[in-house]
């Protein structure tokens, strides 16, 4: 059956000394059973983070990769480089990568493939913009993002996929999707996977919600039957807030 997961996306925050402080604090908390906990520091802090968290239940995740295995790609990092520093999971398709760095669903499909081929796991992010929700096209937008990037994969690949529904209008804005909006979309996503693949595959995929999840709203959001946890931005930068969210199931 699927896992409950809480992952902290640090984005471009936390230098080495801040990373050391935050991870040392996170290590000091007792971790609940039955929740996978992850943090995603910047590339420069990954090796430091895997070393610091060596004997801890918190896993280290990267925020991006390049689809190529190696070569003339100045400034880029490959899947095998990440594996070499103890990282086995990669966030792909975050809305900031889509809007600020022009990532497309087709480009993401090849990043997903490279990550899976390297034996790693993907947290695939998608979600609609405000105008799309207002024009009631949010289901179509999300379906298209998932279809293009993921529906060429064989059913066996879905063991390595975690989904993260992040409505763009809820990211960093303090405005969350309501628990029923989140549940409605997550249930729709699961039905989409069931109709393309099969019900067992759909039921086994963890679908996270991201967008202004905080200690005071995590419990009601995670209560949704199809909501298996969260991808947390701002609130993952404070150990107490992040652990409060981890404990919200």
Residue of 103, 132, 166, 186 marked active site: 166
Residue of 88, 94, 138, 186 marked active site: 94
Q: Closest approach of Cβ 234 to ligand 13P, in Å?
A: 3
DSSP the chain: -PPEEEEEE--S---HHHHHHHHHHHHHSPPPTTEEEEEE--GGGHHHHHHHTTTSSEEE-BS---SSSSSS-TT---HHHHHHTT--EEEE--HHHHHHS---HHHHHHHHHHHHHTT-EEEEEE---HHHHHTT-HHHHHHHHHHHHHTTS-GGGGGGEEEEE--GGGSSSSPPPPHHHHHHHHHHHHHHHHHHS-HHHHHHS-EEEESS--TTTHHHHHTSTT--EEEESGGGGSHHHHHHHHTT-
Question: Is residue 166 among the annotated active site residues?
Answer: yes
Question: Is residue 20 among the annotated active site residues?
Answer: no
Name which of 88 and 98 has its Cβ closer to ligand 13P. 98
Q: Which residues bind ligand 13P (CB under 6 A)?
A: 9, 94, 166, 171-172, 210-213, 231-235
Name which of 40 and 120 has its Cβ closer to ligand 13P. 40
Name which of 80 and 217 has its Cβ closer to ligand 13P. 217
Q: Closest approach of Cβ 48 to ligand 13P, in Å?
A: 21
Residue of closest CB approach to ligand 13P: 233
Q: Closest approach of Cβ 65 to ligand 13P, in Å?
A: 16
Q: Closest approach of Cβ 123 to ligand 13P, in Å?
A: 9
Name which of 26 and 201 has its Cβ closer to ligand 13P. 26
Q: Residues with catalytic annotation?
A: 94, 166
């Amino acid at each position: 059956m699927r896992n409950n997961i809480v992952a902290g996306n640090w984005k471009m925050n936390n230098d080495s000394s801040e990373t050391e402080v935050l991870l040392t604090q996170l290590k000091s908390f007792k971790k609940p059973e039955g929740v996978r906990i992850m943090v995603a520091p910047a590339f420069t802090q990954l090796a430091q983070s895997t070393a610091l968290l060596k004997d801890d239940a918190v896993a280290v995740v990267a925020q991006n990769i390049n689809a190529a295995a190696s070569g003339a790609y100045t400034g880029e990092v490959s899947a095998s480089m990440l594996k070499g520093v103890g990282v086995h999971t990669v966030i792909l398709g975050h809305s900031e990568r889509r809007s600020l760095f022009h990532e497309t669903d087709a480009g993401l499909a090849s990043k997903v493939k490279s990550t899976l081929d390297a034996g790693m796991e993907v947290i695939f992010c998608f979600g609609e913009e405000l105008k799309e929700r207002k024009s009631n096209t949010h289901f179509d937008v999300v379906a298209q993002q998932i279809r293009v990037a993921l529906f060429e994969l064989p059913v066996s690949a879905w063991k390595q996929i975690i989904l993260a529904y992040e409505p763009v209008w809820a990211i960093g804005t303090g405005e969350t999707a309501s628990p029923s909006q989140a549940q409605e979309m997550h249930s729709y996503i699961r039905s989409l996977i069931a109709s393309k693949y099969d019900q067992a595959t759909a039921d086994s995929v963890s679908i996270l919600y991201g967008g202004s999840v905080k200690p005071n709203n995590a419990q009601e959001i995670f209560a949704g039957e199809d909501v298996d946890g969260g991808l947390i931005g701002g609130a993952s930068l404070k150990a107490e807030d992040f652990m409060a969210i981890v404990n919200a199931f």
